[in-house]
Structure 1
Amino acid sequence: MTSIWTGEKVRLRGVEPEDWRAFQRFDEYSADMRSVDMLHPPRSAAGYRRWAEDTEAREGTDDEFLLVIESLVDNTAAGSVSTHDTDQRAGRFSYGIAVGHEHKRRGYAADAAVLVLRYMFGERRFHKCEVGVYAFNEASLALHRKLGFQVEGTLREHEFFAGRRHDLVLLGLTAGEFASYHGM
C-alpha cells in the first residue's frame, strides 16, 4: 500500500520537535526567506525549538496545515509546504512552499506541490488553487507554469522589502486543469 503523502522524491509529514535545526538552517539564507515570505529577525535556538514543539502540538485542520517536505534520498527535512486561505463555499485555497537552500533544484518542490494539490482537489473537493509569487522569483514562476498554473494578473508594487517595492504575480489552477496535467 502506498501513501498519498509520498511522491517520487519526497514524503510529506508533520513537523517533529527535532525539525527545529532544519528550519534554523533554512532561515540562514536571506534571499530564500525573501523569495517566499519576508526577512525575519534572527531567532535563538531555543526559539526555534519552541516553534517546532508548538507547531507539532498544534493540530491543523484537514484544509489548513503545515507539513515538512522530507527527502526520500536521505530522510532529511528539505523544506515545508502549507495550505491557507481556504474557502469551502467558493472552493478555493492557496498554498506556500519553501525548499531549503541545500535542497534546491532537485524536484522536491514540484513533487510536494503535486501531492498537496492532489489531496486538496481529490480528497477535499476544492475547485481552484490560487498562489501569489514575487515577480523576481523566476524559479517559482517556472515551477508553477510547469505544474499547469495560469497567470491571472499582477499586483504592481504590492510588497516592500530589500529597499524597494515588488510586484506579486497571481496564478491559478483548477481541479480539471490539474487532472489533465497530473491525474487524480
Structure 2
Amino acid sequence: MTSIWTGERVRLRGVEPEDWAAFRRFDESSVDMRSADMIHLPRSAAGYRTWTAELAGAREGEEFMLAIETRADQVLVGALSTSAVERRAGRFHYGIAIGRDHQRHGYASDAIPLLLTYMFGERRFHKCEVRIYAFNEASIALHRKLGFQPEGRLRDHEYFAGRHHDLVLMGLTKDEFTARHPFPGVT
C-alpha cells in the first residue's frame, strides 16, 4: 500500500515532540531562519520542546505544519506548512524550509507535490500561492520547475538585514498541477 504522504525521497509526517532538537539546529542559521520566515528571538530548549509538543498535539485543520523526513534513514530535514487559507475562493499559501545541511538533495521538489496532491485532491482547493524573496533565485527556479507561474512582485515589501526587499508572488492552479502530477487512483 502506498501513502500519498510518501514520495521517492521523503515522507511527510506530523511533528513529534522529540523533533525539537532538529528544529533548534535549523534555527542556528540566520539565513535559513529568514528564508523560512523571519529571524526570531533565541528560544530555550524548553521553549522548543513546548513548541513541538503543541504542534504534535495540533488537531486536523487546513492550516498546519508537517515534518519532512528522509525515507532512507528517517532524518528530519525540514518542514512545510499551509497558511492564509481562503476557503471561499479555494486558495491557500504554503511555505517550505529545508535545513542547510539537507538542501540541494531534491527533498523540497519531492515534498511539495505530496502536499499539493492532498490540498488539491483531498481538500478541494483550486489554487496554491507562494511568496518568495526576490533574491532567492533557487526557490524561484524550483517553483517554476514545479509549474508555478509568476503572478507579481511586491516591491520593498519585507524589511530585514537593514533594508527592504522585494517579494515575488507565484501561483499554481489545480489543473496546472494535475497536468504534471495526475492524482493517484483510488484502488
TM range (shorter): over 0.9
Q: Does 1:97 align with 2:133?
A: no
Cα distance, 1:17 vs structure 2: 0.6
What residue ranges of structure 2 are gaps of 5+ in the alignment?
none
Matching of residues 135-154 of structure 1 within 5 Å = 135-154=134-153
Residue of structure 1 equivalent to 2:79: 80
Task: Note the alpha carbon deviations across 1:36-94, whole angstroms, 9 max, x for none.
Answer: 21111111111111111111112141x22110001112101110011111112111011
Cα distance, 1:99 vs structure 2: 0.4
Preserved contact between residue 60 and residue 66 of structure 1 (Cα < 8 Å): no
Preserved contact between residue 92 and residue 130 of structure 1 (Cα < 8 Å): yes
Cα distance, 1:34 vs structure 2: 1.2
In the alignment, the residues of structure 1 paired with residue 96 and residue 27 of structure 2 have an alpha-carbon distance, to the nearest angstrom, of 14
Residue of structure 1 equivalent to 2:169: 170
Partner SS, residue 111 of structure 2: helix
Residue of structure 1 equivalent to 2:11: 11
Calculate the TM-score normalised by the size of structure 2.
Answer: 0.95
Q: Does 1:183 align with 2:182?
A: yes
Matched pairs, number:
183
Tell me which amino acid in the other structure corresponds to 1:27: D
Tell me which amino acid in the other structure corresponds to 1:45: A
Q: Does 1:2 align with 2:13?
A: no
In the alignment, the residues of structure 1 paired with residue 132 and residue 175 of structure 2 have an alpha-carbon distance, to the nearest angstrom, of 22
In the alignment, the residues of structure 1 paired with residue 7 and residue 91 of structure 2 have an alpha-carbon distance, to the nearest angstrom, of 24
Preserved contact between residue 69 and residue 79 of structure 1 (Cα < 8 Å): yes
Calculate the TM-score normalised by the size of structure 1.
Answer: 0.97
In the alignment, the residues of structure 1 paired with residue 71 and residue 133 of structure 2 have an alpha-carbon distance, to the nearest angstrom, of 29
Preserved contact between residue 133 and residue 170 of structure 1 (Cα < 8 Å): yes
Tell me which amino acid in the other structure corresponds to 1:151: P
Task: Note the alpha carbon deviations across 1:117-139, whole angstroms, 9 max, x for none.
Answer: 01111111111101100001111
In the alignment, the residues of structure 1 paired with residue 122 and residue 58 of structure 2 have an alpha-carbon distance, to the nearest angstrom, of 22
Tell me which amino acid in the other structure corresponds to 2:35: S
Superposition misfits of 4+ residues, deviation over 6 angstroms: none
What residue ranges of structure 1 are gaps of 5+ in the alignment?
none
In the alignment, the residues of structure 2 paired with residue 178 and residue 90 of structure 1 have an alpha-carbon distance, to the nearest angstrom, of 17
